[in-house]
A and B are shown apart, each in its own frame.
Chain A
Amino acid sequence: MIFAVLIPLVLALFIPLISKAKHKVHTGIFVLFIPLGIFLYFIRYIGNDFSPVRHTYNWIPSLNINFDFYLDGLSLLFVLLISGIGTLVVFYSIYYLHKTEKLGHFYVYLLMFMSAMLGVVLSDNVFVLYSFWELTSISSFLLIGYWHHRERSRYGAQKSMLITVFGGLSMLGGLVLLTVITGTTSIRSMIDQVDIILNSNYLPLILVLILLGAFTKSAQFPFHIWLPDAMEAPTPVSAYLHSATMVKAGIYLVARFLPIFVAYEWFFISVSLIGIVTLIWGSYMAVRQTDLKGILAFSTISQLGMIMAMLGFGTEAAIFAAVFHILNHATFKGSLFMVAGIIDHETGTRDIRKLGGLFTIMPISGTLALFGTFSMAGVPLPFLNGFYSKELFFGATTELSVTTNGLASFLSTAVPYLAVFGSIFTFVYSMYLFFGAFTGPKKFDLLKKKPHEAPIGMLISPIVLVLGVIIIGLFPNLTNGTLIAHAAQGILNSEIKPYHIHYWHGFDSLAFQMSLVVVGIGIVLFLTRKKWSNIYHVLPGKRSFNKVYDKLIQKIDDFSAGITNSYMTGSLKLYMSIILLTIIAVTFIIMFTTGGLTNISFDNLAEVEIIDLAVVFIMVLAALATIFVNNKLALIIITGIVGFGISILFVIFRAPDLALTQLVVETISMALFLLAYYHLPELRKRNETITTSATNTILAIGMGVLITLTGIAAHSSNWFNTISEYFVETSYKLGGGHNIVNVILVDMRGLDTLFEIAVLGIAALAIYGLIKVRKNKEAE
């Protein structure tokens, strides 16, 4: 199974090579075989006798993070959607994307997404799941920003990235909490320990964090705002990521963790409520859109809300309907996106106000759209799968029976009405989408291109999907026992008998009456659309979650710019002061908290002689004088005094090599200083404010005291034995020299010395360059 997941990622490496030949062969033709192969690999698992499969591959066993792939009914449904729709989308993209586009980039991102999405739905390990989850966000970001020269594309890409990654990080927090509570990283084992989780004090926090992840990814209210902007992506991407697969990852997550939370009342309240609100808001806003893909985006939001709500109900019937609708939504919405792409491709616009009467010119696309929109609307016809799942949804809403808590029982009574209310708008926008684009007066003079029917290759993918709509519609029980029941079983973690889905329930069926209400009011509202559309000036009016998002981003930008600009002033002095202050503060705090100065020993010190004191005294005077002297020649000479003082100290402390070297270096340094003396400007008197000089003094004294105290503390400690004995003993034996310091330098630490020479060489080259190389004025 690991091959199926990682093969797209591995083969993506070769895409840049293949795409070099894109002018001869479209890169998509090679890519097509990858999802097709995966689809064929997994389709053999379909069947009535399916039982879950688990494959484990070690990755980081010490942290309990392994590629633990678990294929149950739910995963199988998603895997088939990802690879199946993936195949159709790649096929469609061959005709949609011209060879002059950057095909290499497109297919690399698409394959990356495919791997990531397969990983999400197959991983049993929560951290592996999280990694793949974020990879889907990243590939979605790259695909939305595919036409990165467009400002709207970049905006949409950033927005989706910020919102979904925010949710992803929240989810990680929830997963970490779950791991800590249960002591396992496997979702299966977590489900086995559901009692521990339900009794945990952190349960509300875990629920909120995990739902944040799911709601942002599945574009639930109020995080739905990223999805309409994600429509800037090429249409195959919208059909694939932003309708059929990636946005359903949130649904998948909720479904996956459902056995854990389903007994918790707030799970029902939050998921159902948000789902229903999203359903209503999405369909309400869809009617207002003018862009074909905008309508489809809000429609997707609304449909995702509906599935989410059904998961929130948590009853067997609702789960079954949810899974059925995941499949159905992928078929009709996928085909509608592709038709929208065809219209865009053939007419040059997606603005529904400029379109009309296309049915006569594009009869095939028109027919496909007819099936797609009517299925989406839930029109009661026996060959539309959307009707079945909508009817199951209505049925599920009426069977809710929560009696415990006030809010939950109120919600369960309100849900059927809210569901009907939202579905009326679903009906309206579906009709609006079809009749607005394909019937009515022809406005071809408004179009950039002369419209004509799409090439057959472009039509194949939507035709396959619409055939799916019809086949599932005609034989709804075909997928029932083989796929849907297993998926529902995977969600609920218990045995489920396959539901028998009927077309005809009789007039006394509550669900059917609800459908009739929806269709009836829907037709009226659709016909009188122009009259009531003023309501959008009242709600949402000028209010918009996009404005909240934009303001928030602006505020965050300003805030961080404010912080950064407050210290990144370009003044090296300031940077230096900040660094020093940090060193002083941190070291002092550590020194005092760890008791570094508690036992200072005054014994075992070397004796002091008069000459030592004299040298030290002169050096202190000279060092202090460097601050106060304002004559550059005097300053240089005084610095020399300190240097020569050091070499005298080296003599006193029995370091002949050091004394000699210091003497030589000091002499040459003096010569260099005197050379520079000629070229450098005279020193100026310091005319700094008292604050500046006080800060400088404090920092200087602080650092000095710190060094002295650190030295004293280090000198008083004897935690480790000295390693010097080793050098004394082996200097002659191993190095063959009597001068131990020399042996250490050239032999035992020979590489060190080699690099030291290299540093000097580089410095010499730099000095040569600085002196000799001049700008060639004439060449400018």
Chain B
Amino acid sequence: MEYIILILAGILFATAIYNLLQKQLLRIIIGTVLLSHGAHLVILTMGKLKRGQPPILDDAVTDYTDPLPQALILTSIVISFGITSLLLVLAYRTAQENKTDNIEEMRGEPNE
């Protein structure tokens, strides 16, 4: 199972990178979203999958899933949400001001 998830993470990364290298802002944002999904899966897999019960203490349970990756991912999900929403608004405003959503057309002047 772990290797299947790692391959899935690899595919998510590949599609994310491909989208990141596009010109349109919306695709780039989608790229960052996919990138964080992939990263979360990798972190989760590092703690091994499907071992023991959910990490909520209970006297009847002795074997728990690794709680540490989960804590890390939880932080990461929230941060990537912040980034996604900021990027979306930034894209909206940029497209409005510059009348384009193509980053190749947003270059500065030479020597700027």
Which residue numbers of A lie inside 8 Å of B, CB to CB? 570-573, 576-577, 580, 602, 605-608, 612-613, 616, 619-620, 623-624, 626-627, 632, 635-636, 639, 642-643, 646, 649-650, 652-658, 661-662, 665, 668-669, 672-673, 675-676, 679-681, 683-684, 686, 696-697, 699-701, 703-708, 711-712, 714-715, 722-724, 727-728, 731-732, 738-741, 744-745, 749, 752-753, 756, 759-760, 763-764, 766-767, 770-771
A623 & B6 in contact (Cβ 8 Å cutoff): no
Nearest-CB residue, chain A, relative to B12: A623
A662 & B56 in contact (Cβ 8 Å cutoff): no
Q: Which of A571, A675, A703 is most buried by chain B, counting CB atoms within 10 A of its CB?
A: A703
Instruction: Name the distance in Å between A238's Cβ and chain B's nearest Cβ.
Output: 37
- Residues of A near B83 (CB, < 8 A) are 763
A570 & B8 in contact (Cβ 8 Å cutoff): no
Instruction: Name the distance in Å between A346's Cβ and chain B's nearest Cβ.
Output: 46
- Residues of B near A711 (CB, < 8 A) are 6, 9-10, 42, 45-46
A654 & B52 in contact (Cβ 8 Å cutoff): yes
Nearest-CB residue, chain B, relative to A572: B103
A706 to B5, CA, bound (A): 14
Instruction: Name the distance in Å between B60's Cβ and chain A's nearest Cβ.
Output: 12
A770 & B65 in contact (Cβ 8 Å cutoff): no
Instruction: Name the distance in Å between B3's Cβ and chain A's nearest Cβ.
Output: 6
Nearest-CB residue, chain B, relative to A728: B64
Q: Could you write out 26 A-B pairs with CB less than 8 Å apart?
A: A571-B104, A606-B49, A608-B4, A620-B8, A623-B34, A626-B15, A627-B19, A643-B33, A646-B41, A658-B70, A658-B74, A672-B88, A673-B88, A681-B95, A699-B21, A706-B10, A706-B13, A711-B6, A711-B9, A715-B45, A724-B66, A738-B58, A740-B56, A741-B67, A741-B71, A770-B92
Nearest-CB residue, chain A, relative to B78: A756
- Residues of B near A715 (CB, < 8 A) are 2-3, 6, 45-46
- Residues of B near A608 (CB, < 8 A) are 1, 4
Encoded as 1 (CB less than 8 Å from any A CB) or 0, chain B from 22 to 34 comes to 1111110010011
Instruction: Name the distance in Å between A619's Cβ and chain B's nearest Cβ.
Output: 6
A150 to B59, CA, bound (A): 83
- Residues of B near A686 (CB, < 8 A) are 22
A627 & B85 in contact (Cβ 8 Å cutoff): no
**Cβ-neighbour of A749 out of B46, B49, B71, B82 (below 8 A):** B71
A676 & B88 in contact (Cβ 8 Å cutoff): yes
- Residues of B near A770 (CB, < 8 A) are 89-90, 92-93
Encoded as 1 (CB less than 8 Å from any A CB) or 0, chain B from 72 to 112 comes to 01110111011111101111110110001101100110100
A665 to B24, CA, bound (A): 24
Size of B's binding interface in residues, CB under 8 A: 84
- Residues of B near A665 (CB, < 8 A) are 77-78, 81
A573 & B23 in contact (Cβ 8 Å cutoff): yes
B85 & A763 in contact (Cβ 8 Å cutoff): yes
Instruction: Name the distance in Å between B25's Cβ and chain A's nearest Cβ.
Output: 7
A744 & B90 in contact (Cβ 8 Å cutoff): no
- Residues of B near A635 (CB, < 8 A) are 26-27, 30
A750 to B83, CA, bound (A): 21
**Cβ-neighbour of A668 out of B3, B42, B81 (below 8 A):** B81
- Residues of A near B96 (CB, < 8 A) are 679
- Residues of A near B86 (CB, < 8 A) are 763, 766-767
A707 & B67 in contact (Cβ 8 Å cutoff): no
Evaluate whether A724 and B18 lie within 8 angstroms (CB atoms) in the complex, with A572-B103, A665-B78 already known.
no
Instruction: Name the distance in Å between A700's Cβ and chain B's nearest Cβ.
Output: 4
B55 & A745 in contact (Cβ 8 Å cutoff): no
Instruction: Name the distance in Å between A631's Cβ and chain B's nearest Cβ.
Output: 11
- Residues of B near A571 (CB, < 8 A) are 104, 107
- Residues of B near A739 (CB, < 8 A) are 55-57
Evaluate whether A655 and B4 lie within 8 angstroms (CB atoms) in the complex, with A576-B21, A680-B26 already known.
no
A612 to B7, CA, bound (A): 13
- Residues of B near A662 (CB, < 8 A) are 77
A727 to B54, CA, bound (A): 14
**Cβ-neighbour of B50 out of A576, A623, A653, A668 (below 8 A):** A653
Evaluate whether A649 and B75 lie within 8 angstroms (CB atoms) in the complex, with A699-B17, A738-B58 already known.
no
- Residues of A near B89 (CB, < 8 A) are 676, 766-767, 770-771
A731 & B57 in contact (Cβ 8 Å cutoff): yes
A732 & B57 in contact (Cβ 8 Å cutoff): yes
A708 & B10 in contact (Cβ 8 Å cutoff): yes
**Cβ-neighbour of B15 out of A577, A624, A636, A669 (below 8 A):** A624
B8 & A619 in contact (Cβ 8 Å cutoff): yes
Instruction: Name the distance in Å between B99's Cβ and chain A's nearest Cβ.
Output: 9
**Cβ-neighbour of A570 out of B17, B55, B101, B108 (below 8 A):** B108
Instruction: Name the distance in Å between B110's Cβ and chain A's nearest Cβ.
Output: 8
B21 & A681 in contact (Cβ 8 Å cutoff): no
A707 & B42 in contact (Cβ 8 Å cutoff): yes
- Residues of B near A732 (CB, < 8 A) are 57
Evaluate whether A722 and B6 lie within 8 angstroms (CB atoms) in the complex, with A639-B30, A697-B18 already known.
no
